[in-house]
Structure 1
Amino acid sequence: MDTEDRIDFYPLANTSRVNFKSQSLDGAILTNDVLDYSRANFSLNENQSDYGPFYSNFTRYDDYCSSNLSHTYLNVTCEFPINYAEPMYGYIAPFLLATTTVANTLIVVVLSRRHMRTPTNIVLMAMALCDMLTMLFPAPWLFYMYTFGNHYKPLTPPPACTAWNYMNEVIPAMFHTASIWLTLALAVQRYIYVCHAPVARTWCTMPRVIKCLIYIGLAAFLHQLPRFFDRRYVPHVTVWRGQLKDVCQMEMAPWVKTISLDAYFIAYFAFRVLFVHLIPCTSLVVLNVLLFRAMKKAQINRQKLFKDNRKSECKRLRDSNCTTLMLIVVVTVFLLVEIPVAVVTILHIISSTIVEILDYHIANILILITNFCIIVSYPINFAIYCGMSRQFRETFKELFIRGAVTGRKNGGSSRYSLVNGPRTCTNETVL
């Protein structure tokens, strides 16, 4: 595979910058501490003829970024199709970051109220935190590189390059992985509530749910732990704008070279494809179908109860259905943005290890767009909760809207009853 046949993913997709089948080429270039100037990197349209005709050959963006020179040091301009990345991540992403931060902070504040603390809401709160942190960590670098237009400049010193790698790739991928597994845990939990209610009293207690959240966070951290140590950035001298410039050069860690780069990345991607993309997405599709069927069946039962004038049971069933429908919508939005990323990642694995089937220029654009759609989806959950949960709306009004008073009925709150249990859509029925 040629050097240009590489796929670089935004940290949400969390694939490596180094393609499996291009390891021998990239590795040979990146392991030299100081390269001679005949292999030095130049910025766009800054190749100086003073250094010989070799440099003047690179007059176009495509020629420059497809050359071996573009991988000599950390070069953000050549990591993504810049014509798409700059407007998405430089101009639109800051607005989405502000919206996500405000919306998810409000979700955490509302769901952390005492009367809102249920097993389901604890998972929803953890998801909101993970989604927010997935955007917050790379935000300073997105601003610096794309909003302020510094993507073409060499990044230096090496600690800054290391921070770029951690904050833009490794840490966001860790939180996004946790968010994926939390979504699966949410669907499994709701399936138990709806289809196996008797065991919900045992398996869906608050202590068990909190333990599950801790295990998920630990698993996501361990999954990304090797990425903290699989490379290092060392000082490197290159020619940039006709002058010698100190930049960062990436080297793979000795332990990665010992086990071989192909083995390391294949193992990493195989695990990610199976346990972060394929199995969670497939399970969520199945669980969504089962929940939808159970909800339809419960709706028929509710109509029978209503005809029999069993209003208390009818109300309880309605509230359960309302919660189920809201969570089905949350999971569906998640699947709509995650499945395309999973498909492109799987195709990347096939194209890198078995047979070349991808046009990597198009694939890079697709993965850029699909990852951007993931960012766009982050504030949507707040709208879903506000639109489909009366209890969430009432609690939000009590906290943030002066003069808003929750309606009372028979001396009790309309949103919660110690006798009949939760009456609205975000909490469970009596469990």
Structure 2
Amino acid sequence: MENTTLRGEHSDIDQVFIEFWLRAKNNSTFWILDGPLNAIICITVIILNILFLIVLQRKEMRSVTSFVLSAIAVADLLRTLISLPVSLYICVPYFKSYTPYHWCVYLKMPFLLVSNVFYTSSVWLTLYLGVFRYILVCHPIKAKLWCRYKIAIGVVILIFVISLFSYVCLLFMRKITRVVFWNEEEKRSVSSCFVDVVDTWHNYIFIQTILEIIFVQIIPCVGMLFITCKLVYTLKSAARSRKAMSRQLNRSRNESHQTTLLLIAILIAFLVFEIPHSVLQVFIILMINLHRYHFLLSYLRLFDTILIQILYITSTFNFCIYCTMGTKFRLTLKKIMSFN
């Protein structure tokens, strides 16, 4: 049943959030994407990231790079844990088309705020990982000063703190509104709610969205693209002079070379799926505010939902890439799995 009371007079940006439950109830495709499929992806991400963290904490795997990778895994893990309850609720047989009141409190605080904080932290930590490796490979002298544990710990904490304060304003921008309507299926009045924008903040919600696209998607993507190209160029240049090195030095350089290749693969995997999502977000915002091509919004939202599920899957890429390309990582993982 489609509830017109829940729709009211709201901005189109908020309408997307309000319709989250309605679309999953009334559309089987959205129900699969937001419910069972997302739940399976979340459980997979949780298991693999926990395993990834266990391997990285082994004595033979500890390094500054492993510390940054662990911070990324923690951010992805916490973001997935926040999203899992919503997907599991959509899967249950008694899932309703209206939003229960107690779920609005969860959607306003953990789901909307905390998940955004951890997603932003994960993006910027991935960018920092690329910058960190760029300094090690391209500026080895400066690396002794800038690529230390104390610096890495400070940067990781700073990223989490800035991400948190960037979204604190959402607590004041949005409010929980209770509504009562007649449910034709249950033949009774139902008390429900939705998360709405406070009237005094309506003019700022668009600015908040634009800033989020710029600083969470566009700038990190451009930075990672530049760093990836620079690392690839540096590796090709270093390959020409590798024959002149001694055997022991070659062995050390080969290990560093493999680590750099691993991080390049991580950056490329992130960019392949993050760039289309960023472009789509910009296109949707333009369509909404220019009031054009609204007939395409339903298809774009479906495509956006699919991209979001893919972005969740990318949280497992670090583990998969290291399993595929990292010799030391595979050996350590085998020791753990064989309880050796």
State if a TM-score over 0.5 links the two structures.
yes
> RMSD value over aligned CA atoms?
2.1
Q: Counterparts of 1:102 and 1:354 in 2: how far apart (Å)?
A: 43
| SS at structure 2 position matched to 1:152 | coil
Shift of 1:139: 0.7
Shift of 1:223: 1.3
Q: Mark the structure with the bigger radius of gyration.
A: 1
Q: Which has the higher helix share?
A: 2
Q: In structure 1, what is the equivalent of residue 100 of structure 2?
A: 156
| SS at structure 2 position matched to 1:402 | coil
Q: In structure 2, what is the equivalent of residue 222 of structure 1?
A: 165
Q: Counterparts of 1:339 and 1:162 in 2: how far apart (Å)?
A: 32
1:125-144 deviations in whole A, cap 9, x for unaligned?
11111111111112111111
CA 1:90–1:250: 2 relative to 1, 3 Å:
closer
Shift of 1:149: 4.4
Superposition pairs for residues 361-400 of structure 1, below 5 Å? 361-400=298-337
Q: 2:226 aligns with which of 286, 302, 307?
A: 286
Superposition pairs for residues 107-186 of structure 1, below 5 Å? 107-145=52-90, 147-157=91-101, 159-186=102-129
1:344-389 deviations in whole A, cap 9, x for unaligned?
1111232234573562112111101110111222222211111111
| SS at structure 2 position matched to 1:356 | coil
| SS at structure 1 position matched to 2:330 | helix
Q: In structure 2, what is the equivalent of residue 273 of structure 1?
A: 213
Shift of 1:117: 2.2
Amino acid at match of 2:96: Y
Matched, 1:335 2:279: no
| SS at structure 2 position matched to 1:88 | helix
- 2:71·2:125 contact (CA, 8 Å) conserved in 1? yes
Shift of 1:319: 1.4
- 1:110·1:392 contact (CA, 8 Å) conserved in 2? yes
Instruction: Report percent identity of matched pairs.
Output: 24
Q: Counterparts of 1:89 and 1:78 in 2: how far apart (Å)?
A: 11
Q: In structure 2, what is the equivalent of residue 406 of structure 1?
A: none
**TM-score of the aligned structures, taking structure 1 as reference length:** 0.71
Q: Counterparts of 2:155 and 2:79 in 1: how far apart (Å)?
A: 20
Unaligned runs of 5+ in 1: 1-42, 45-63, 404-431
How many equivalent pairs are there? Answer: 328
Q: Counterparts of 1:237 and 1:95 in 2: how far apart (Å)?
A: 34
Amino acid at match of 1:374: L
- 1:127·1:179 contact (CA, 8 Å) conserved in 2? yes
4+ long deviations beyond 6 Å: none
Q: In structure 1, what is the equivalent of residue 285 of structure 2?
A: 349
Matched, 1:321 2:257: yes
Shift of 1:273: 1.6
| SS at structure 2 position matched to 1:155 | coil
CA 1:78–1:155: 2 relative to 1, 3 Å:
closer
**TM-score of the aligned structures, taking structure 2 as reference length:** 0.89
Shift of 1:150: 4.6
Shift of 1:160: 2.8
Shift of 1:179: 0.4
Q: Counterparts of 1:180 and 1:364 in 2: how far apart (Å)?
A: 22
Superposition pairs for residues 214-253 of structure 1, below 5 Å? 214-241=157-184, 242-253=187-198
